[in-house]
């Protein structure tokens, strides 16, 4: 047999059946399958894998974009025009610098292929250039037009740091020298409609742009012609490609276009038609299409064929968020999909979580963040090894040598923004409660960092109220149906206990209704409005979660904070009447019923209306706290 037979995939010819040659072919096929499975496991081990995010950090306003540069910096941008630089470290990330880059929102952001330059644009006709490694602003340009999207487009040998900026009111794409005087060097006139998305393939020195009408163009950024490039392209006419895909399908123009690290593939994604498309760069042909429409997801939920099945209440809540997201034209612009470093996997956000899809096998290999309540929009992936800068071979990665494994340990971080959230979230291979080093108390560090300073008013309110809120070890909730004695966990969830005890000692909970009662689930109270829409912390507003791995909703009588998503705790709390493991990692457990479960079950058994509100009022009379000595 020739050497090329090792590349054959498929059924064996009849002439080979039963022969020694057939056995050789079958052995080679099994060897390849085994190798591919092992290779896939290695690649997956270099990707985030948890259902919960490990940490989150704040901006003052809702985040729009995030990206990871080749120089291992993380850049985050928000709608108020602020830009933050973060550096990856062996322990996670650390803050580097904060820029008030624009007065308006940042509507486009791009880093060059070397990871040394960053460009941002805003509707206020501003273009700003940053030196990433020195975290410094090096150029400001006042544009004569409103920009729509931006991308760097130059090779390392180019004398100019070429930057392409599209016009929001025409099909023109203007070329600038990022380090120049801000004058327009060239104008590319390939489109008749404003360009919605474009990106640069550094390996093949090619820009792909898609306009608002769905027309897709390949072009070289080298002046003066800006014509179809020849390097890496296997077609001469669009009729030989699938580049009319968006033109044929109305309302399908994507919000993102990202190239694979090897340059051979690119992926487009947007909420206009909720379809992920993977393309072959050389041929312009579609390789894969994944339909993530709400109709398809609903059908899979009903049939039980989705990668994860949610309970009906949670699925309904997520569908409501999707409808709200579809109504937000601004938020829909930020959705994207990205490749991993191997170019084997595509990662993209859905209402079920972040899917990791093996492109070659066309299957979902993993689901990240499925247990979170937030709706992820924009992704950026870091797959570096902070403790080692050398390239890791496949053989080294597969080695069981402990020294090699420790030295080349990859610490992947998936950076994600979320709908209507002023935080970005870090998904890793660690659960939120895990800590490095000698620390053993997982509750010592909260996963939601409050890195933005509170206002003077918030500081004064916190100072006054914190003095009243001493920690307690237990408390008795006196209700109109009897007393409930609970044990508190101040050592594990100090801030949550401080908030709850502060409210209790200040008589905040007096006369509060048990406004939500669900049999075989829980009873909820703590809302001053009595309808589940009110309440705040003792500091005013909301505060972060204190998720602790060993404190779980694993039995009746668990006392836990009610919330509307991550870091949204106020005053409302609930007591479980059955195990509710799906709440783990989403709600802060801060106590447990020691006496009075009969009272809890009595509340559980009352008649309720269609909104789960008891027909007869059941109230908290007051709460007695036993203070720590």
Catalytic residues: 516, 521, 524, 563, 574, 583, 587
What one-character DSSP code corresponds to residue 583? G
Specify whether the CB–CB gap between 563 and 587 falls below 8 A.
yes
Question: CB under 8 Å to 157, separation ≥6 — which residues?
Answer: none
Specify whether the CB–CB gap between 269 and 335 falls below 8 A.
yes
CA angle (256, 78, 271) in 5-degree steps: 30
Report strand pairing: 147-152 vs 136-142.
unpaired
CA angle (214, 218, 221) in 5-degree steps: 125
3-state secondary structure of 25: helix
Q: Which residues pair with 168 in a beta bridge?
A: none
H or E segment and range at residue 320: helix 312-327
Choose among 543, 530, 548, 551: nearest CA to 569.
543
Specify whether the CB–CB gap between 496 and 611 falls below 8 A.
no
Burial 383-409 (b: 16+ CB within 10 A, else e): bbbbeeeeebeeeebeeeeeebeeebe
- Residue linked to tokens 């000595």: 629
Pull the structure tokens for residue 207: 């820009």
Is the dihedral angle over the CA atoms 565, 566, 572, 575 positive or is it negative? Answer: positive
Alpha-carbon span 544 to 549, nearest angstrom: 16
Max distance between CA atoms of the chain, in angstroms, equals 88
Report strand pairing: 423-427 vs 472-479.
unpaired
Specify whether the CB–CB gap between 146 and 168 falls below 8 A.
yes
Choose among 429, 422, 471: nearest CA to 448.
422
Question: CB under 8 Å to 601, separation ≥6 — which residues?
Answer: 577
- Residue linked to tokens 């005013």: 540
- Residue linked to tokens 């949610």: 310
| Region of residue 259 (left: phi > 0; alpha: psi -120 to 50; beta: else) | beta
**Of all residues in the chain, what percent are helix, strand and coil, respectively (each to 5)?**
20, 35, 50
3-state secondary structure of 395: helix
**Alpha helix locations (H) across 45-113?**
none
- Residue linked to tokens 């014509």: 227
Question: CB under 8 Å to 238, separation ≥6 — which residues?
Answer: 244, 284
Instruction: Dump the DSSP string for 293-314.
Output: -HHHHHHHHHHT-SSS---HHH
Is the dihedral angle over the CA atoms 492, 493, 495, 499 positive or is it negative? Answer: negative
CA 154, chain centre distance (Å): 30
- Residue linked to tokens 């390939």: 190
């Amino acid at each position: 047999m020739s050497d090329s037979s090792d590349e054959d995939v498929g059924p064996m010819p009849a002439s080979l059946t039963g022969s020694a040659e057939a056995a050789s072919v079958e052995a080679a096929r099994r060897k390849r399958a085994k190798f591919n499975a092992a290779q896939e496991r290695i690649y997956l081990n270099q990707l985030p894998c948890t259902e919960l995010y490990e940490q989150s950090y704040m901006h003052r306003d809702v985040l729009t974009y995030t990206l990871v540069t080749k120089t291992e910096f993380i850049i985050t941008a928000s709608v108020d025009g602020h830009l933050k630089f973060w550096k990856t470290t062996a322990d996670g990330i650390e803050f580097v610098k904060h820029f008030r880059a624009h007065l308006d929102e940042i509507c486009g952001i791009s880093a060059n292929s070397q990871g040394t330059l960053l460009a941002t644009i805003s509707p206020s006709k501003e273009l700003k250039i940053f030196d990433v490694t020195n975290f410094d602003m090096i150029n400001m340009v006042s544009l004569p037009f409103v920009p729509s999207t931006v991308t760097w487009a130059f090779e390392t040998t180019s004398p100019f740091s070429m930057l392409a900026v599209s016009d929001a009111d025409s099909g023109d794409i203007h070329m600038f020298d990022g380090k120049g005087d801000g004058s327009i060097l060239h104008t590319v006139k390939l489109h008749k409609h404003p360009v919605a998305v474009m990106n640069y393939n550094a390996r093949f020195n090619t820009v792909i742009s898609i306009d608002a009408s769905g027309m897709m163009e390949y072009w070289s950024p080298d002046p003066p012609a800006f014509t179809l490039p020849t390097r890496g392209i296997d077609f001469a006419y669009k009729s030989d490609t699938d580049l009319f895909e968006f033109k044929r399908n109305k309302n399908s123009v994507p919000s993102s276009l990202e190239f694979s690290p090897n340059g051979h593939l690119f992926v487009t994604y947007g909420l206009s038609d909720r379809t992920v498309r993977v393309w072959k760069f050389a041929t312009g042909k579609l390789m894969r299409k994944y339909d993530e429409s709400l109709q398809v997801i609903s059908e899979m939920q009903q049939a039980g064929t989705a990668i994860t099945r949610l309970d009906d209440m949670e699925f309904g809540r997520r569908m409501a968020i999707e409808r709200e997201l579809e109504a937000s034209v601004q938020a829909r612009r930020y959705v994207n999909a990205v490749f991993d470093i191997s170019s084997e996997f595509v990662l993209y956000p859905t209402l079920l979580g972040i899917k990791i899809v093996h492109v070659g096998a066309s299957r979902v290999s993993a689901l990240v963040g499925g247990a979170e309540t937030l709706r992820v929009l924009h992704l950026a992936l870091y797959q570096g090894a902070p403790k080692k800068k050398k390239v890791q071979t496949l053989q080294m990665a597969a080695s069981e040598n402990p020294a090699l494994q420790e030295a080349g340990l990859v610490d992947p971080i998936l950076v994600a923004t979320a709908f209507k959230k002023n935080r970005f979230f870090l998904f890793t291979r660690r659960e939120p409660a895990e800590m490095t080093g000698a620390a053993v108390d997982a509750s010592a560090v909260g996963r939601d960092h409050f890195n933005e300073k509170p206002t003077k008013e918030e500081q004064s309110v916190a100072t006054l109220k914190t003095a009243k809120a001493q920690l307690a070890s237990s408390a008795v909730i006196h209700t109109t149906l009897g007393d409930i004695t609970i044990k508190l966990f101040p050592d594990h969830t100090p801030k949550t206990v401080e908030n709850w005890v502060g409210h209790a000692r200040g008589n905040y909970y007096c006369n509060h209704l048990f406004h939500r009662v669900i049999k075989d689930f829980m009873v909820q109270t703590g809302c001053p409005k009595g309808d589940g829409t009110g309440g705040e912390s003792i500091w005013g507003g909301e505060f972060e979660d204190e998720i602790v791995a060993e404190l779980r909703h694993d039995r009746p009588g668990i006392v836990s904070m009610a919330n509307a998503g991550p870091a949204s705790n106020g005053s409302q709390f609930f007591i479980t009447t059955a195990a509710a493991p799906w709440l783990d990692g989403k709600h802060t457990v801060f106590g447990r019923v020691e006496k009075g479960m009969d009272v809890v079950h009595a509340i559980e058994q009352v008649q309720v209306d269609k909104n789960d509100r008891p027909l007869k009022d059941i109230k908290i009379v007051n709460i007695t706290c036993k203070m720590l000595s």
